[in-house]
Homo-oligomer: A and B are copies of this chain.
Amino acid sequence: MTPKYDPEKCRQWIEGNIDIDFFRAICDPVRSELLIFLASSGELTIGEIAENFSQNRSVISRHLDYMNRFGAVKRRKVGREVFYQVDKQTIVTKFGTASENMKALLGQ
C-alpha cells in the first residue's frame, strides 16, 4: 500500500524550506575551499585569491561568480579590480533556517 504522495509537493517543500541552490554552490570541493579561504582572509581581489589556488584564474573567477549569484559571497568592483568576501549574514541565515526547517519537518 503506497501512500500516494506527490513528488511535486516534495519539490515545493524543498523550494520553500531549503535553498538547495545555495548549498549546491557551497558543497563543491573547490568552492567550499574558496569560501573557507575567504572566511579566514577577509576581502581580496580575484587575482590575490587565485594565487592561492592551483586552478586557472578564470576558473576561480567563475566559481566566485557562481557563489555570488547564490549569496555565499559578496562582490565589490573597484576600478578594474573585483573584490570578494564571504557574505556572513546570508551564510549563517541559510544554514540556520535549513537546520530549523529540517528539525521541524522531522520532528526531533
Task: Identify the A interface with B (CB < 8 A).
Answer: 2-7, 9-11, 13-14, 18, 20, 23-24, 26-27, 29, 32-33, 36-37, 39-42, 44, 48, 51-53, 86, 88-89, 91-92, 95-96, 98-99, 102-103, 105-108
Identical copies of this chain, number: 2
Q: Chain B residues with Cβ under 8 A from A26's Cβ?
A: 23
Find out whether the CB atom of A41 lies under 8 angstroms from the CB atom of B106: no
Q: Residue A106 contacts which of B11, B44, B91 (CB distance < 8 angstroms)?
A: B91
Q: Residue A102 contacts which of B11, B91, B103 (CB distance < 8 angstroms)?
A: B91
Q: Residue A32 contacts which of B18, B92, B96 (CB distance < 8 angstroms)?
A: B18
A interface: dominant SS: helix
